[in-house]
Each structure stands twice: as structure tokens, then as C-alpha cells.
Amino acid sequence: MATAPKFDQVKVGDALPALVLPPINRHQLALYCGGSGDHNPIHVDIDFAKKFGFKDVFAHGMLSMAFLGRLATSWVPQGQVRKLGTRFTSITWVGDVITVTGKITGKREEGGARLVDLEIKCTNQNGQDTLQGDATVVLN
């Protein structure tokens, strides 16, 4: 379980511990197809992907968003995550090595809760952002 940092101990600009993931492989995409219920064949069937103009299958955007979630819940307990969102900015291909990073962009109090805003993103081995996300968590 994550031991959450305290509101008073963090400041804007602080980085969260990064998450470096193993290369995306086809087996993971098959597992995510079943686990998420997203059965779009474009992520698992190369013939289908080619028919629609892609060179290969590619990862579900939501698989990478799950990595953003993992970063958030490795920093604070699940119940303290208030919001999680992302833009999917480029395609994640089989073999890509994704690093998930985050940093604090804001601290505020709202309705009696002490909130910390985070920028979190996925970046591939070429330094290109694949997801540009954000989260809001409660810190005590």
C-alpha cells in the first residue's frame, strides 16, 4: 500500500517516483482486450489493423491510461484519487518502452479538502509523449 506524502511536505514542481515499464508486447494487448472488454480487433489482429492503414496492431489508449493510474496509486492510496484524465497524443506500438512520470503542478484547498494537482504522462523510448494527463489527489 502506498504511504501517502503529507500536504505540507510537498511543493509545486516536485516529481513523483517514475514508473519504467517493460516493452509493450502482443500478449499484453490480448490480456487487455479481455480484461478491459475493449474488443476492437485493431489492437490484436494485424490483418484488421493493416486493412485500416496501420503498419501493425497498437496498444489500447486505455492500457496506457491504466499506467497513469498505477503511477497515481503508487503515490497515494486509491481512495485519495479524485480525478484522472488524459489526452492520447500519439500511438503506442508493440515494442515501445513506456516511462510514466508525474509532477506537482498545484496545491489548493477546496471544500475543506487539501488537493494536489498533478501532471502525469507516458513517454516512449524516443522521448515522445504518448499520453499527456493530469490528476487531482487529496493529501492530508
- In the complex, the smallest distance separating the C-beta of residue 11 from other proteins, rounded to whole angstroms, is 24
Please give the torsion angle defined by the CA atoms of residues 131, 17, 126 and 117, in that order, rounded to the nearest 10 degrees: 30
Query: Cβ atoms within 10 A of the Cβ of 108, count?
Result: 10
The yes or no reply on residue 120 touching other proteins (CB under 8 A) is no
| H runs (alpha helix) in the chain | 26-36, 46-51, 61-75
- Please select the residue that binds other proteins; options are 16, 44, 57, 72, rule is CB under 8 A: 72
Residue closer to other proteins by CB (options 69, 102) is: 69
61 belongs to the binding site for other proteins (CB under 8 A): yes
The smaller minimum CB distance to other proteins, of residues 98 and 104, is found at 98
User: Which among 29, 108, 114, 102 is positioned nearest to 70, based on CA atoms?
Assistant: 102
Output 79 or 106, the one with its CB closest to other proteins. 79
Asked whether the beta carbons of 69 and 134 are under 8 A apart, the reply is no
Report the interface residues with other proteins, using CB under 8 A.
1, 21-22, 28, 31-32, 34-42, 48, 51-52, 60-63, 65-70, 72-73, 77-79, 81-88, 91
